[in-house]
């Protein structure tokens, strides 16, 4: 499995990479253009991403714009499986959440600050990892 983590906040990238590297190869991008380059390279190498973790608020292209471009690239490549999209954002308003699900075809929307147990629970629901065993 391969995950692409896109966020302009290094602490979020570090948090996600720390937990997710146990489950998949993790590549990161600090902005939309980096994300598009990484995604295109993955398609060309025929090693597409299983999941993309996308922040919304970023300089330049926002996360919703990046996702639209990723979905167009994916549609053109017509892979066997579509990537799972996990949006991560401080924005929890209806407009941004709706845009992520309806236009970006998001599979999950996680509010910041991210919590490890919520992240692992969502990944298990999406079938990306086995259900976490949480301490009692």
- The SS3 assignment for 2 reads strand
Average pLDDT, the chain: 91
Residue closest to 34 by CA, chosen among 12, 60, 10? 60
Contact predicate 12/112, CB 8 Å: yes
Which one-letter DSSP state was computed for residue 61? S
Residue 49 confidence (pLDDT): 96
Contact predicate 42/49, CB 8 Å: yes
Mean pLDDT throughout 102-117? 90
**pLDDT at residue 101 greater than cutoff 90:** no
Higher-scoring residue by pLDDT: 21, 99: 21
Residue 132 confidence (pLDDT): 60
Residue closest to 28 by CA, chosen among 2, 47, 48? 2
Q: What is the pTM of this model?
A: 0.92
Nearest-angstrom CA–CA distance, 27 and 44: 16
Mean pLDDT throughout 77-95? 89
Nearest-angstrom CA–CA distance, 125 and 72: 26
Q: Which of 37-41, 100-104, 120-124 has the lowest mean pLDDT?
A: 100-104
Higher-scoring residue by pLDDT: 68, 136: 68
pLDDT digits (tens, 9 = 90+) for 14-50: 999 999 999 999 999 999 999 999 999 999 999 999 9
């Amino acid at each position: 499995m391969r995950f692409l983590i896109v966020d302009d906040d290094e602490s979020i990238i570090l948090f996600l990479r720390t937990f997710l590297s146990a489950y998949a190869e993790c590549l990161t991008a600090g902005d939309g253009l980096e994300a598009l380059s990484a995604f295109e390279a993955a398609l060309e190498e025929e090693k597409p991403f299983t999941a993309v973790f996308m922040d919304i608020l970023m300089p330049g292209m926002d996360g919703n714009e990046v996702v639209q471009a990723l979905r167009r690239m994916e549609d053109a490549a017509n892979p066997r499986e579509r990537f799972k999209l996990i949006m991560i954002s401080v924005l929890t308003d209806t407009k941004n959440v709706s845009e992520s699900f309806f236009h970006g075809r998001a599979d999950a929307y996680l509010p910041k600050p991210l919590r490890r147990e919520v992240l692992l629970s969502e990944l298990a629901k999406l079938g990306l990892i086995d259900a976490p065993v949480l301490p009692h």
